[in-house]
Amino acid sequence: MLKKLFGFDPTKTSVKTEIIAGVTTFLTMSYILAVNPSMFGQLDGMPGGAVFTSTALAAIIGCLAMAFWGKLPFGLAPGMGLNAFFVYSVCMGMGYTWQFALTAVLIEGIIFIILTLTNVREAIVNAIPLSLRHAIGAGIGLFIAFIGLESAGVIVPDDATLVALGDITSGSALLALIGIIITGFLYARNVPGAILIGILVTMIIGIPMGVTEFQGVLSSPESIKPIFCQFEFENIFSLDMLVVVFTFLFIDMFDTVGTLVGVCTKAKMVDEKGNIYRLKQAFMADAIATTFGSMLGTSTTTTYVESAAGVAQGGRSGLTAFAVACCFLIALFFSPLFLSIPAAATAPALVLVGLLMLEPIRNIPFEDFTESIPAFVCVIMMPLTYSISNGILLGMIAYVLMNLICGKFRKITPVMYILAVLFICYGGIMMAHEYTSGTIRLLLIKPRTRRRILCSKFVCLVFWWVVLAMGAMLLLNYAMTLATFSFPISRQRARELPRSRPSSPPSASSVRSSLSLCSTSRLLSSLPS
């Protein structure tokens, strides 16, 4: 029965392990129950209590969809970063109502359902090269370790060096370091449920230190009536709506792709070709959660990277996701208790999981720089840009450019070309959005002239368009020569041909190569020096 419902395999895991994994995942992602109400509460007409309830309900729907449909051990909830874009960019920056933003989330969810049904999202994942898939897992590891250390105050912002070591002698940072030692010791000793035990022990130690603040036990959930199905369809055909929907779509798609690819690769939940089992179903669960989340009155619901903590604990089936859903259901009535868990208690779990996520990096062929350089870009840019999607974006662009420059055209699939173009267009749209959102002012206060700023942006755009044009021309030239000189010669016929005839015609491949090189040289010579 469990196998039919959740894809549970008793030879690979146990019910106890799955439940512990689910609780662990929930504890590492439960911060969203505190963050969302405080963030959305800044908007008029969005009560914090109602947002708390809608956040929990959206997470429950998403996790149940993942459990019964996707049958994968992933937790879903309204996403961090996406909620910030919702509140601070769309509502406060662009001046639109939260009803407008909810409408954009609804449209995004519907588009995701269509893209999933047409297998577009699955095609995108399958187009990602194997080296980048390993890099995504390693990048996520560094990213979530960075998140854990930052949330606990072990590392802090610094004007001179961007980040610096925080005050580790007291408070949250000290508790997090103690928790890392405890959790690491438990894991090294192969203690069952080491990560979950580490969270609970660290939380208890934090009580006498004054870090863990007990806020009570029970509370009744508030009504979501003020924010339920509050949509605004007057501006759905505006340019701003297009930008907002595209941004939600882009970030959610590649955050989800990155999480699924990275965590499943680490957990070896892939076939011999590196393809993820039940990927389409997982995407559909994500799309359904986003659509229903907008109706409940919250931002885009996405697959959480913190699910890696549960997978590291042994979660392998939808039963883990079901356990996460049950925890969110309990949290509706025990919110003060769950909100008492400090960030310092969950930070050790994220740091340890970050370490475990680095394992796939050993499978990257570092001797092949067309593979290792894009992989490195992907890994390093995730924590540095604080975004999984940005890491995938830059890694994919680097992969296409490196292989184009080195002449390895066959390694690049048509989907990868399309993705690279979309990524570049996304960057251009975001650059233009600086003016509508007002963030361009951050550049204008610098000791630089407007002319210099605009010229630098123009140069960047020209550079990317030149690169794009070169890639398109190379692809077109190769396709034309391939179509014109496609004379396949069988091996038997090739053996019969004389080997030393000066008058023998050149092979089709040599002609193709010559024409392609001539065309490329002509293209390069036409560019301004």
Round to whole Å and give the CA distance between 113 and 190: 41
Q: Which amino acid is at 200?
A: L
Closest CA to 54 of 252, 232, 289, 227: 227
Q: From first to last of its 529 residues, what are the pLDDT tens digits of the chain? A: 788 889 888 888 899 999 999 999 998 888 888 778 877 888 999 988 899 999 999 999 999 999 999 999 999 999 877 887 788 778 887 788 999 999 999 999 999 999 899 988 878 777 788 888 888 878 878 988 898 898 889 999 988 888 899 998 888 999 999 999 999 999 888 887 788 888 889 999 999 998 988 877 788 888 999 999 999 988 788 877 887 887 788 778 877 888 888 888 877 788 777 778 888 999 999 999 999 999 999 999 999 988 988 998 889 899 999 999 999 999 999 878 777 788 888 888 888 888 887 877 888 999 999 999 999 999 999 888 887 777 888 888 889 889 888 888 888 878 777 777 766 666 665 556 555 555 555 555 555 565 566 556 545 544 444 454 444 445 545 554 554 444 444 445 445 545 544 444 444 444 444 444 444 444 344 343 3
Residue 226: the pLDDT is 93
The token pair at 461 is 């755009």
Residue 445: the pLDDT is 54
Instruction: For 109-120, write each residue's pLDDT tens digit.
Output: 999 999 899 988
Residue 435: the pLDDT is 56
Closest CA to 467 of 392, 368, 400, 389: 400
What is the chain's Cα-based Rg?
A: 26
Residue 99: the pLDDT is 94
Instruction: For 24-77, write each residue's pLDDT tens digit.
Output: 999 888 888 877 887 788 899 998 889 999 999 999 999 999 999 999 999 999
C-alpha distances out from residue 300 to 141, 233, 450, Å? 23, 18, 36
3-state secondary structure of 47: coil
Q: Are 329 and 144 in contact (CB under 8 A)?
A: no
Task: Tell me the CB-side half-sphere exposure of residue 269, using CA atoms within 13 A.
Answer: 32
Residue 32: the pLDDT is 87
Closest CA to 48 of 212, 213, 231, 227: 227
Closest CA to 267 of 129, 74, 124: 74
Residue 322: the pLDDT is 96
Q: Is 422 exposed, middle or buried (0-12, 13-18, 19+ CB in 10 A)?
A: middle
Round to whole Å and give the CA distance between 420 and 442: 28
Round to whole Å and give the CA distance between 402 and 391: 16
Query: What residues are paired with 76 via a beta bridge?
Result: 303
Alpha helices per DSSP H over 85-163:
98-117, 120-127, 130-151
pTM of the model: 0.68
DSSP per-residue string spanning 251-285:
HHHHHHHHHHHHHHHHTT-B-TTSPBTTHHHHHHH
Round to whole Å and give the CA distance between 85 and 333: 29
Round to whole Å and give the CA distance between 113 and 484: 41
